[in-house]
Structure 1
Amino acid sequence: MNDRKPNLRSVRELTPALEFCTIHGYRRAYRVAGSGPALLLIHGIGDNSTTWSTVQSQLAQRFTVVAPDLLGHGQSDKPRADYSVAAYANGMRDLLGVLDIEKVTVVGHSLGGGVAMQFAYQFPQLVDRLILIGAGGVTKDVNIALRVASLPMGGEALSLLRLPLVLPSVQAIGAVAGKLLGTTALGRDLPNALRILRDLPEPTATSAFTRTLRAVVDWRGQVVTMLDRCYLTESVPVQLIWGERDAVIPVSHARMAHAAMPGSQLEIFERSGHFPFHDDPDRFVEVVQRFIDSTEPAEYDQTALRQLLRTGVRERAISGTVDTKVAVLDAMGTDERSAT
């Protein structure tokens, strides 16, 4: 008689394995673990798939969890290429095709949130649900450091990190600043910023980072917004997760996206910064699992989508307080938005 419980899984099976595939001549790295319904975890700018190490094994107890290194990041190739959110969405479609995955719940953090939203816009037939974490692309507000880095000499300034002792000095100063700032917004996010900075001195990584950043940010802030097409998520379950102390993308963006996405759910981690899945991984996993358990996968309906496109944004479909509604409408009324 076999007394083993059916839900027990081996540690080996739940440990993300780094794998590679070649698509369009470029090597793509990704980490995969678990089995069951598929989750696609998309990291942010300058980051890589290891950022999900705090939660990927836990999620793999119930799901097939795929965490790629975006092109230009991590151990994926870093060619002179198109690093727009639309190009990244295409890359995610191609990777899923290679892995023979037909539908996914797409989980995107920061830039990855913008990619996730773009993926759902371009390939709605592949999406079960959307989970957006401190997502980019809501409106133009973004951390001043990213605006500065997007300037013409920003990439050249990052190349200075390759000089002897420069990066260690920056890391040391950052570590001291992190201790002084403690649990403030900047203090929460500084360790992760330093971790990402550690990978940038490699020349091709610097170039890819700069190309990616300039595709979405200039000196005025973010140059794309998803607000003008959020209404297209009407039939897609959406979970928004934000850190209240996010120093990179303000929590006000979470409320605006929530207001613009009919039926979306919003979870704010009160003591978290830009990386809530690092600050409170257990709560993050709980929110993700509860969201998936409580919602049905989206069903792609071309007729309904066609009608939504013809109708467009309806002001009455925007929820929230009067101030939030005004902020959403103002953001959609400016010229700071994607023409994708």
Structure 2
Amino acid sequence: MNSKPGALNDSSLYKVFSHSPIRAAGNKPDLNIYRSPGIPEYGAFQYQAPTEGLLQIGGPHSTETHWTDEFEIAWTKMGDKGPLVLFLHGVPTNRTQWEEVQGQISRFCETISIDMLGMGESSKPRLYGRKNDPAPNDRWHWVNDVDYIEKLMQHEYPDRRFIFVADDWGSGIASHYAARHNDRLEALIQVDPIAFDGYPVNEIQAIGRAAQIPNTPEGDAQFAMLFAAFDQTLVQILKSMVYDPAKYNQYNLRYLTFPYVDVDYERNGQNDGITDVARSTTLRLKFHNLRVLSDRAAILSPALLLPYHSEHNPNGVQYRNITAPTLIMWGEYDNMMPAAQTQRFAHALGTSDVQISYVPRAGHFPATDNPECVTDTIINFIRRVVGHQALADVYIGNHGIWKGDERQMIRELRILHGITG
């Protein structure tokens, strides 16, 4: 991938930055100057869990289920060179939340994004770990997600170190992963992370509280009544998580709501023209998946993200074990979990290399509000941690001043940094 770099001296650098524009000044950034991220690849990791859960058989509204410990973790891969980057999403979303940022970063890095167990296109085990005991248990604790993430990454990329990027719920998992597998990480990047006593939040608490409804036919009917307007509730939750609610509309919301709500292209695909045509009364809720979300939300607590203590908090995070370089990013206008929490990480982590960055014009989901800034911050951090030559291409930004000589500039920078292919 890399060849011997050219001479980085005053003369060579002057040549790179002193071109006359090939086109008129004021051009919109042309990201096609970079190497192509390639065609996305989609798949799933076959995961054998330590306990069983109840999976649906058949269509989204089937009542037929079976117990199993064989699950799938859905993934999207993009890019084929450079440092390895894993993206993990928040709640109530899935890996499409990272799609735009992943697409840009995959020009410079090899990337994979996944749906956490119970969400997106990954398996959704109801009554997970409760086959023989109906009482709530700890199987939905964030620390237990570490198991399938480590197995997935070892299966797909044996013994390769990687950069873990996570936000919201995913960052709770990432904290536990980094504390247990710090040696596997080149770096850790947390975006508006849940941490310390910043969780739970009211929007998710309300969903978790419904897990107290009995898992009986009568209880399911009660659950269905309480969640009859969940499609509206879900949209309002999502729109409260961004600075600009217009970022979400009826088209792109489909990719986030599909696990929980029928969407029109699913319903219209039945093609009988009568009972299955998409209209308000036929776009039904998927209560099995909502039950899984409720179960998962119910068991989580602040103690699981507060620092570890052998006596007082044995399930907490051993933050001092995290010595990988760490970037903490936060949306400037996050109205769910305030950005002031960022400073706590500098005192909790076992590394002194903690970079804190705020994302302007962004709420709780900065990758949705301001993907250009998030991409820019992540790539610059990765470049600082691993070096210019580890990236698959030279990075000269995705916004800002482009005077029209970028194609010539990047060709010469590739030579100077020894980046080929």
Match of 2:110 in 1: 64
Deviations along 1:171-226, whole A, 9 cap, x unmatched? 78x49x96xx9x99695898799974563332332122122212324xxxx33224
Whether 1:98 and 2:186 are equivalent positions in the alignment is no
Whether 1:28 and 2:118 are equivalent positions in the alignment is no
SS in 2 for 1:46: coil
CA distance in 2, matches of 1:224, 1:75: 26
Stretch moving more, 153-162 or 117-126: 153-162
Give 1:250 shift: 2.0
CA distance in 1, matches of 2:149, 2:242: 35
Distance 1:119 1:184, change over 3 A: closer
Q: Normalised by the size of structure 2, how large is the TM-score?
A: 0.58
Match of 1:302 in 2: none
SS in 1 for 2:122: coil
The structure with the largest alpha-carbon Rg is: 2
Whether 1:292 and 2:350 are equivalent positions in the alignment is no
CA distance in 2, matches of 1:153, 1:279: 32
Kept in 1, the 8 Å contact 2:329–2:356? The answer is yes
Give 1:145 shift: 1.8
Match of 1:231 in 2: 320
Distance 1:239 1:171, change over 3 A: closer
Distance 1:57 1:162, change over 3 A: same
Stretch moving more, 222-231 or 270-279: 222-231
CA distance in 2, matches of 1:216, 1:251: 22
Q: Which residue identity is paired with 1:274?
A: H
Stretches (4+) displaced over 6 A: 154-158, 188-195
Q: Which residue identity is paired with 2:328?
A: L
Match of 2:143 in 1: 86
Q: What does residue range 189-338 of structure 1 map to in structure 2 within 5 Å? A: 196=256, 199-200=259-260, 201-217=285-301, 222-228=302-308, 229-233=318-322, 235-261=323-349, 262-296=352-386
Deviations along 1:239-288, whole A, 9 cap, x unmatched? 00001221222212222223323330000113211111111111111111
Q: Which residue identity is paired with 1:206?
A: L
Match of 2:169 in 1: 111
CA distance in 2, matches of 1:59, 1:184: 21
> CA RMSD, aligned part only?
3.3
Match of 1:317 in 2: none
Deviations along 1:69-113, whole A, 9 cap, x unmatched? 111111111113332211111111011122024211001110111
Q: Which residue identity is paired with 1:23?
A: Y
Q: Which residue identity is paired with 1:137?
A: A
Kept in 2, the 8 Å contact 1:105–1:129? The answer is yes
Q: Which residue identity is paired with 1:87?
A: N
Unaligned runs of 5+ in 2: 1-32, 49-69, 129-138, 214-219, 261-284, 309-317, 388-421
Kept in 2, the 8 Å contact 1:245–1:271? The answer is yes
CA distance in 1, matches of 2:359, 2:225: 36
Deviations along 1:133-183, whole A, 9 cap, x unmatched? 1111222454322222222567778744874xx3565578x49x96xx9x9
Distance 1:273 1:296, change over 3 A: same
Kept in 1, the 8 Å contact 2:191–2:329? The answer is yes
CA distance in 2, matches of 1:19, 1:224: 31
Match of 2:411 in 1: none
CA distance in 2, matches of 1:247, 1:38: 32
Distance 1:190 1:281, change over 3 A: closer
CA distance in 2, matches of 1:184, 1:104: 28
Match of 2:101 among 52, 55, 74: 55
Kept in 2, the 8 Å contact 1:162–1:202? The answer is no
Q: Normalised by the size of structure 1, how large is the TM-score?
A: 0.71
Aligned residue pairs total 277
Match of 2:418 in 1: none
Task: Identify the structure with bigger relative contact order (alpha carbons < 8 Å, sequence gap 6+).
Answer: 2
Q: Which one has a larger percent helix, Structure 1 or Structure 2?
A: 1
SS in 2 for 1:18: strand
Unaligned runs of 5+ in 1: 1-6, 298-340
CA distance in 2, matches of 1:56, 1:184: 19
Distance 1:41 1:23, change over 3 A: same
Kept in 2, the 8 Å contact 1:242–1:267? The answer is yes
Match of 2:180 in 1: 122
